[in-house]
Chains A and B, each alone.
Chain A
Amino acid sequence: MSNRITLQIARYRPEQESEQTFDEYEVPYSKETAILDGLNYVKDALDGTLAYRWSCRMGICGSCGMTVNGEPKLTCATFLADYAPGPVRVEPLRNFPVIRDLVVDIGDFMQKLVRVKPWLVRAAEKPVSEGEYRQTPEQLEDYKQYSMCINCMLCYAACPVYGLDPHFIGPAAIALAQRYNLDNRDEGSTERMRVLSEHEGIWACTFVGECTKVCPKHVDPAGAIQRYKLTAAIDSMKSFFAPRGA
């Protein structure tokens, strides 16, 4: 553990200053040391005032998303050795308001998530006596990729459309809506379409594709959005030429 690397960490102390500053810390590392481990070392041994979020430290909870050398990353899944000799610049996740240091407010995403109803919507639950809902492996494949989302919001940080206009519903919300739309047990696609086909829903997306590139779980939200555009467009044409009864 004789290797050391410098972390340039963004600090924001709203009670003291109105601007972001950078503090430098030298941390030891080996080939297994993640950036999150470096942050924990800073907080433990160097500066206990550093504020940041983390939880599972194994890439499944989605808490530790930050901007590392300009790219959105899960800090538990990104390794200091890959940035040697450094320095490594650690900033809060882009496109979200910064509360303190590396902690951002994710309320906007939380509201959007609820709006797309990311749960199985059914007119009536099947009674237990009628048995289980059946799903073939092929039906599972239809939506499985989108179910991998861990709500880490790296895609929102990478999306310039969201950065320019926070009203955009965003990649993860649409991918999660699709996870349920494509699930054969779900009956809620009409309700979700009302939300998704709003002006700032899927139609604001210009297929930059960065969301898919940064996703640590290979969800491919860009693909989900473009495919849904076709679905929504066809539905729109259908309802224009043959309006459904009220």
Chain B
Amino acid sequence: MNETESSTPYHPRWLRPRMSTYWWLEKPAYLTFMLREGSCVFVGWFAVYLLLLLDALLEGPLAYELFLAWSATPWVLLLNIVTLAFVVFHAITFFQAAPQAMVVRIGRMRVSPQAVLLGHYAGWVVVSAIVAFVLLGAR
């Protein structure tokens, strides 16, 4: 069967309302979904930000200082404040989806959804602590 075939035959008198472009404003759950999807823009931005940092490091100490100074300018600060909010939102919603999206088994026992969620948060705390320790301890 042709995989792209839609199975609803055309009928001239059947009503087919078109979905509004603003369908995602109709329900709070849809809006939350759109915001969650939109968080990817800020994930992408920060990946670019890291690449800019790496490039500055490659160019030398002056470039690094310039990067730090640039990151302190008002627009960049504002952007990164918003980025922090969205990146945290992304982490929370992604972890929240994990127990529903995967069945974790140890032997034959099924790990409870709460444990899966807690495991993600614990991992988040540990990883963040390690990164902070490494970066703040680097002299």
Contact = CB atoms under 8 A, between A and B. Distances in A.
Q: Do chains A and B touch in the complex (CB under 8 A)?
A: yes
Interface of A: 12, 14-15, 20, 70, 95, 97-99, 105, 107-108, 110-112, 115, 138, 160, 163-164, 166-167, 198-200, 206-210, 212-213, 220, 222-223, 226-227, 229-230
B15 interface: yes
B14 A115 contact: no
Interface of B: 1, 3-4, 6-9, 11, 13-17, 19, 23-24, 26-27, 29-30, 33, 37, 97, 100-103, 108
Contacts of B29: 208-210, 213
Contacts of B8: 97, 105, 107-108, 166
A209 B23 CA distance: 15
B101 A107 contact: no
A107 B27 CA distance: 27
A112 B5 CA distance: 11
Contacts of A230: 101-102
Given A98-B14, A160-B19, A112 B7 contact: yes
A107 B19 CA distance: 20
A212 B4 CA distance: 26
A15 B26 CA distance: 31
19 contacts: A14-B13, A14-B15, A15-B13, A20-B17, A70-B27, A98-B14, A99-B14, A105-B14, A107-B8, A138-B108, A160-B19, A164-B19, A200-B4, A206-B37, A207-B97, A209-B33, A209-B97, A210-B33, A220-B100
A70 B26 contact: yes
Contacts of A97: 8, 11, 14-16
A108 B6 contact: yes
A226 B19 contact: no
Contacts of A112: 7
Nearest to A230: B102
B100 A222 contact: yes
A163 B101 contact: no
Nearest to A167: B6
Given A20-B15, A105-B8, A160 B3 contact: no
Contact of A12 (B15, B27, B102): B15
B3 A200 contact: yes
B136 to A, nearest CB: 36
